[in-house]
Amino acid sequence: MPLLCVYMSDCYVDSVCYLVIVCAICHREHQDMRLFSSNRNYSAEVNQCLQGVRDPVTEKSLPSSGRIDSLVVTENGDVTLALTATPQTVEADERLRYEAEQAILAIKKIGSVRVLLTAHSDQPMPSQAAGTRRVTKGENISSEGKPPPKAAPAARNETLQVPGIKNIIAVASAKGGVGKSTLSLNLAIALRNEGLKVGILDADVYGPSLPTMTNTVKASPARGEKDKIRPIEAFGLKLMSIGYISDVDAPMIWRGPIVMSAISQMLKDVEWGELDILIIDTPPGTGDAQLTLSQRISLSGAVIVSTPQEVALADVRRGVAMFRKTEVPVLGIVENMAYFEDPVSQNRTYLFGEGGARRMAEELSVPFLVEVPLVQAIREGGDTGEPVALDSAAANGVFTKLATEVLSRMGNETLPPAPEIVFE
């Protein structure tokens, strides 16, 4: 049975305007996303059927119109087609997308079909309208030398609300590889140990790790009421990840707006039920997906994960600044891989430096939550699908302490005054 999902997003990213309409996502069991040759030439069939679709602008066939941005056809006949469009011709472009979709679906025994519209604005930024100029450090980037209007913070007034979920916490890291996903899962379990109803959304679509860390790789979400998806359940948690609905070897070659579309659908199209807290394991970095997520979702707060060395701490500053500019309370900073303690002598070795995240927290005037040591059991728990926090006393009870710290700060945070965003 096909599952029809429609999502529209209008985002402005790095002077490029994307209008993304993701539609007609049809899922079939045992779909294979690997690109190999097949006895049946699905690619030729798709190209042939698109010859009958006319572009209203150029009056040419779709393959000859230059409107096809990308076309991927897999061994099993699964099709992903991206068409270029413009924000000024949304309705006409949507009709073209629909005609292309119907033409492909008419092919006998075709697999899943994804048809996307992406629109790129060729208009220059206001600062470029009067010609190119050098911008010095500390200068406001605008054509009149004035700060940009307060449009970005206002976007939080149009947040996505998820019925039944009382609080949503983002666990973020401005740099990848600092253990954010491991900490997200163990924090969720520690909160559950406190008697709370907890869910976790693995929003790292480029590298979903939740299925592996919970030993639910083979799990497949079922359809619930009103065509919503039922989350996977493990350890008393409700789980959702792109890893449950994509092939394990399939790369997610998605632009920022499409990533946000997928995250939004995993939020609003999943039967989360009644939850006290939903943990969102965000993608690493401070790019479009992270910024849009913090603007579009009503977050109760953010926990930032870092390691002690300067290379990681330089990005923590950017992460804190992003959440502050989008009016998301920063609940605190966690220093992961803080030290290694010899089990015999109990001497500590600070492999990545000592106290770097704590000093950064003090400098930025945000709470410092806990130090998470380098413990073999934490790594093993992630690999075997038995998270260490299932034993509340494991790893010196650090995740229990973290849960206590997070809960003590939730509800006590007040949003700062609406910031005036100035790009320097």
pLDDT averaged over the chain?
75
Q: What is the pLDDT of residues 10-23, one digit of tens each?
A: 333 333 333 333 33
* Stretch 114-118: mean pLDDT: 78
Instruction: Taking residues 317-340, report their average pLDDT.
Output: 89
Of the candidates 251, 410, 384, the one whose C-alpha atom is nearest the C-alpha of residue 329 is 410
For residues 239 and 379, give the distance between their C-alpha atoms in angstroms, rounded to a whole number. Answer: 20
Q: What pLDDT, on the 0 to 100 scale, is given for residue 256?
A: 54
Domain 155-409 has CATH 3.40.50.300: yes
Domains 7-119 and 155-409 share a fold: no
Per-residue pLDDT tens over the stretch 363-396: 999 999 999 998 888 989 989 999 999 987 777 7
pTM metric for this prediction: 0.61
What does the pLDDT look like over 229-239, one tens digit per residue?
Answer: 899 999 999 99
Q: Is the predicted pLDDT of residue 144 greater than 60, yes or no?
A: no
Res 159: pLDDT: 67
C-alpha neighbours within 13 Å on the C-beta side of residue 170: 34
pLDDT in tens, 198-208: 999 998 777 78
Give which of 251, 252, 182 is closest to 212, Cα–Cα. 182
CATH numeric code, 7-119: 3.30.300.130
Pairing of strands 7-13, 16-23: antiparallel
Mean pLDDT (whole number) for 345-372: 90
- The more confidently predicted of residues 208 and 274 is 274
391's tokens: 């034993």
Of the ranges 185-194, 250-259, 294-303, the best mean pLDDT one: 185-194
Report pLDDT for 27. 37
3-state secondary structure of 202: strand
Q: Helix, strand or coil for residue 265?
A: helix
* Amino acid present at 118: T
Residue 126 host element (H or E): none
Per domain, the residue ranges of the chain are: 7-119, 155-409
**Cα–Cα distance, 355 to 339 (Å, whole number):** 9
Name the DSSP letter for residue 329. Answer: -
Residue 182's pLDDT band, with cuts at 50, 70 and 90, is very high
**What is the pairing mode between strands 222-223 and 113-119?**
unpaired
Mean pLDDT of 42-53: 88
pLDDT of residue 204: 79
pLDDT tens digits, one per residue of 61-110: 888 888 888 888 887 788 888 888 776 666 778 888 889 989 998 888 88
